[in-house]
Amino acid sequence: MTPTLELASELIRRRSVTPDDAGCQQLLAGRLAKLGFRIEHLRFGEVNNLWARRGAEGPLFGFAGHTDVVPPGPEQRWQSPPFEPTLRNGQLFGRGAADMKGSIAAMVIACEQFLANHDKHQGSIAFLITSDEEGPAIDGTAKVIEHLEKRGEKIDWCLVGEPSCTTQLGDTIKNGRRGSLGGRLLIRGVQGHIAYPRLAQNPIQTALPALTELSAIEWDQGNDFFPPTRFQISNIHAGTGATNVIPGELEVLFNFRFSTEVTDAELRQRVESLLTAHQLEYKMEWVLSGQPFLTPAGELVDAARCAIRKVTGIEPQLSTSGGTSDGRFIAPTGAQVLELGPLNATIHKIDEHVSVKHLQQLSTIYEHVLINLLSSKRAGE
């Protein structure tokens, strides 16, 4: 059992369903304190967060991740209990194995290996760990970054351990994410008997032309890094359950995953202008979950690519696909942010697992990223 596998297993044993950290951060803090990290436990609301830093000088390299996991679902459907780490056919099974306790274990072991050979490294190293990534994401990374900003502490390079790869370890680096803008649209009508439509106003039928138009709009054409912005309806609800009643209101939930070619303010304005043009009586609630961000080619991208080539022999692709991550809270501070982790094929699924070989390789990749950025000897040269 390698140190990375052992630590990943210890983390999986802790039933840390959002926002319960279940002692994961205490375990990590103990390991990091032995390496000379200054430990801060930051609790906001019901959420535990860990900020650990070694060194006081810049540049500051940060590992970021989360100890919380999604619920396991029906546990009887798992081949082995979700919170009992189990090895089968070269794979480590357990909730959080890929998302993202395996990555966190790889980060800590990478740091231990790096410091064993580079105790006098340049700059500083930090860990930002939250237990609120899979949930509302209000009192986690966002609050920690706000706390750090108030005291003038900024991350220069940040590597988030989200599972980023598709078929081979290292095949994909996420160097950005689309923005996410959600909307709750309430369209009012007049309830009445379905046999007397002239005495009522059906909000479903009055809303359909507007919703059809919203679905057909080309919001932008995207760019070299982002696909075009998309409008998607996730839920429509109306009616009392009776078949002979015209409903009095219609609720529509929708979401924009948007590129850097458009702003959330522009999207809001266009949607509301269209609804007004269709003469709908409506109420709109907006939720901005994150702005789009992009880390172009530079020191961090070069360091990650070099490390992946050295360990796996493959050339990684840059991608901004997928959902949101906590990188959206770190990038606005000016940090270069990348997401690099294991394969994402089983995340949030029954029998989530990660390759034991990949865990060790991932730890070595992380170690070489540290070497490339914080030591005078570059790992890829």
In sequence order, the 6+-apart residues with CB closer than 8 A to the CB of 296 are 175
Q: CB atoms < 10 A from the CB of 328, how many?
A: 22
The answer to whether 92 touches 5, Cβ cutoff 8 Å, is yes
With 0-12 / 13-18 / 19 or more C-beta atoms within 10 angstroms meaning exposed / middle / buried, residue 122 is middle
- State the Cα torsion 161-38-31-26 to the nearest 10°: -80
> String of b and e for 127-144 (b: at least 16 CB within 10 Å)?
bbbbbbbbbebebbbbbb
**Catalytic residue among 68, 99, 132, 139, which?**
68
d(CA 281, CA 285): 14
Q: Say whether 133 is catalytic.
A: yes
Task: List b or e across 346-375, with b for residues whose CB sees 16 or more CB atoms inside 10 angstroms.
Answer: bbeeebbbbbbebbbbbbbbbbbbbbbbbb
The two tokens of residue 137 are 């994401």
Query: How is residue 107 written in tokens?
Result: 């980060």
DSSP string spanning 299-338?
HHHHHHHHHHHHHH---PEEE--SS--THHHHGGGT-EEE
Are residues 170 and 316 in contact, defined by beta-carbon separation less than 8 angstroms?
A: yes
Residues 22 and 329: their CA atoms lie apart, in Å, by: 24
Buried b / exposed e along 284-293 (16+ C-beta atoms within 10 A): eeeeeebbbb
The closest of 325, 321, 237, 231 to 274, measured between CA atoms, is 231
**Exposed/middle/buried for residue 57 (C-beta within 10 Å: 0-12, 13-18, 19+):** exposed
The continuous run of DSSP H or E covering 103 comes out as helix 102-117
> In whole angstroms, what is the distance from residue 116 CA to residue 50 CA?
23
Among candidate residues 21, 74, 68, 76, the one with its CA nearest the CA of residue 43: 21
Q: Which of 99, 112, 132, 133 is catalytic?
A: 133
Q: Cite the active site residues.
A: 68, 133
